[in-house]
């Protein structure tokens, strides 16, 4: 910790070292922030939830989130300017002094160039939030989660609590969060925000850390005011918290904020939160669990969970030096979506926009391909529930979901490959005399033979490739099974 503190003090940059008069203004403004937060205290709340996990965990998850199944994550910030390797660029450069990052800076930028010098280059001149909203709508995603602030501390909105280190003050000179919120709210998609509780090099946070988190000045004057500001200004339906792991939920005042969110906030009936609210909280509390990045248990989890993953397999941020093979194929994305939903989760696919505000063509293509598949097969995904079996007992790469239709359970079997013999056997399925089999997007019933010792043998019709209902992964709708 001493090494990290020393490095932070050696940065000597204007973001954290303004002139003495301006610094005094900053400190005075930060001191006043706790007065604003006091207006949101839960002690006078008439709501049913108290600021403790035992109470908060009793809140039913809003229906929309469980039914949504698929969302889009957007990692965007000053790190999008170097767009090299990781959103943790600043940390690897300064705190760890990683040779690859040090060499990248030495080879490409003048001596003395600092991370903060990237901020004016975060220009976003091609950022068209309505175009983004159109792409997201075509993808079939039901919610998006935009980075409002990553661990670097730069806010993508004109926060009163991030002096001279926000998108209105330096770089875009725009309210990036507000513009996308307005565009998304014209669509059926739910708007959400990612927010980092901590900041790597903020001196007030580092002082709290040096005090073993026995002081909470950073929480009172920075973290919580930002969260309340985001909720009141943009009314997000998802608060995706991160950067929590160095301190407990008590230090972060997490339960107090969430109780206000559930009881009295303008989004109290629709908002959901994840599980990253303090050391030891992840995978134990919150509306949905994320547990770790790219969490995919591969089995049924009874608590709602989310697989937050990256279309670029190696990074959350847009990388200028990425290779085509680094990206998920559409077949791989659909496979991951189906597996995740079959096991009770939502899939949150990450896209890294460019520093100038574009969604790169490879990301746009993948999103639109997912939407094309969902246009045919969304019935098996949206508002579905896990079935008795998650994957088939006989044939690999077949995953199940279910839902009620006209008071009868319908089971969907998603086949991730087309068998060369045009025959597939489903071992988990037991039929009745009323069982019918259909393929979503195909107009006629599908023939089958049932063998009690093996299972359901589905005989696929000889369909020309040009007439297949979709190009990747095919879904059987099976009715009136014996359960």
Rounded CA separation 299/293 (Å): 17
CA dist 244 to 169, 197, 276, Å? 27, 6, 6
pLDDT digits (tens, 9 = 90+) for 184-197: 999 999 999 999 99
| CA distance linking residue 442 with residue 423, whole number of Å | 17
Angstrom distances, CA of residue 463 to CA of 278, 388, 438, 441, 446: 54, 31, 14, 12, 12
What class does CATH assign to 385-481?
mainly beta
pLDDT score for 47: 86
Q: What's the distance, Cα to Cα, between the start and end of the chain in Å?
A: 58
Contacts with 454 (C-beta within 8 Å, 6 or more apart), sequence order: 394, 425, 427
pLDDT in the model for residue 185: 95
Neighbours of 125 (CB within 10 A): 10
Please report the pLDDT score of residue 403 as a whole number: 97
The Cα 54–Cα 50 span in angstroms is: 9
| CA atoms of 381 and 367, how far apart (whole Å) | 16
Residue ranges, comma separated, of all CATH 3.20.20.80 domains in the chain are 53-380
From CA 462, how far away is CA 476, in angstroms rounded?
A: 16
pLDDT of residue 44: 66
pLDDT tens for residues 327-349? Answer: 999 999 999 999 999 999 999 99
Given this model, what pLDDT does residue 37 score? 59
Q: Residue 134 is inside which H or E element, if any?
A: helix 129-139
Strands (E), 393-473: 398-405, 408-415, 423-426, 431-439, 447-451, 455-459
Which two three-digit tokens encode residue 332?
Answer: 């791989």
Note the pLDDT of residue 43: 55
Under-50 pLDDT residues of the chain: 1-35
The CATH superfamily of 53-380 is Glycosidases (3.20.20.80)
From-to residues of CATH 2.60.40.1180 in the chain? 385-481
pLDDT of residue 483: 84
Using an 8 Å Cβ cutoff, are 236 and 230 in contact?
yes
pLDDT score, position 17: 37
Q: What pLDDT sits at residue 393?
A: 95
Which helix (H) or strand (E) covers residue 227, if one does?
Answer: helix 224-234
Whole-number pLDDT of residue 206? 98
């Amino acid at each position: 910790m001493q090494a990290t503190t020393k490095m932070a003090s050696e940065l000597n940059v204007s973001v954290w070292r303004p002139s003495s008069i301006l610094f005094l203004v900053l400190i005075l403004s930060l001191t006043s922030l706790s007065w604003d937060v006091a207006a949101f205290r839960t002690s006078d709340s008439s709501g049913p939830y108290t600021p403790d996990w035992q109470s908060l965990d009793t809140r039913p998850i809003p229906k929309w989130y469980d039914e949504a199944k698929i969302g889009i994550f957007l990692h965007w910030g000053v790190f999008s300017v170097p767009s090299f390797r990781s959103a943790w660029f600043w940390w690897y450069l300064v705190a760890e002094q990683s040779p690859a990052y040090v060499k990248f800076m030495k080879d490409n930028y003048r001596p003395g160039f600092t991370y903060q010098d990237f901020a004016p280059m975060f220009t976003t001149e091609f950022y068209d939030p309505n175009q983004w909203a159109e792409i997201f709508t075509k993808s079939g995603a039901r919610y998006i989660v935009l980075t409002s602030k990553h661990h670097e501390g730069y806010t993508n909105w004109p926060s009163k609590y991030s002096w001279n280190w926000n998108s209105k003050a330096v770089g875009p000179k725009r309210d990036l969060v507000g513009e996308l919120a307005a565009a998304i709210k014209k669509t059926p998609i739910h708007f959400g925000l990612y927010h980092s509780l901590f900041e790597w090099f903020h001196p007030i946070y580092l002082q709290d850390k040096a005090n073993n988190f026995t002081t909470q000045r950073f929480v009172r004057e920075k973290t919580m005011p930002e969260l309340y500001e985001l909720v009141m200004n943009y009314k997000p339906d998802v608060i995706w918290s991160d950067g929590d792991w160095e301190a407990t939920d008590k230090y972060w005042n997490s339960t107090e904020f969430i109780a206000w969110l559930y009881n009295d906030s303008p989004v109290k009936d629709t908002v959901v939160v994840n599980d990253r609210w303090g050391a030891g909280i992840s995978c134990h509390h919150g509306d949905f669990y994320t547990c770790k990045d790219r969490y995919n248990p591969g089995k049924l989890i009874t608590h709602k969970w989310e697989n937050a993953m990256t279309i670029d397999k190696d990074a959350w941020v847009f990388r200028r030096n990425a290779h085509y093979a680094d990206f998920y194929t559409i077949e791989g994305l659909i496979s991951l979506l189906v597996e995740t939903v079959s096991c009770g989760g939502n899939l949150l696919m990450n896209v890294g926009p460019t520093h100038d505000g574009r969604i790169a063509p490879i990301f746009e293509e993948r999103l639109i391909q997912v939407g094309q598949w969902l246009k045919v097969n969304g019935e098996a995904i949206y508002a579905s529930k896990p079935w008795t079996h998650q994957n088939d007992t006989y044939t690999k790469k077949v995953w199940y979901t279910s839902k009620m239709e006209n008071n009868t359970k319908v089971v969907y079997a998603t086949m991730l490959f087309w068998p060369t013999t045009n025959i597939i056997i489903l071992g988990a399925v037991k039929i009745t005399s009323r069982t019918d089999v259909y393929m979503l997007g195909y107009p006629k019933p599908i023939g089958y033979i049932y063998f009690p010792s093996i299972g359901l043998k589905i005989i696929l019709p000889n369909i020309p490739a040009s007439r297949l209902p979709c190009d990747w992964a095919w879904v059987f709708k099976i009715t009136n099974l014996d359960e």
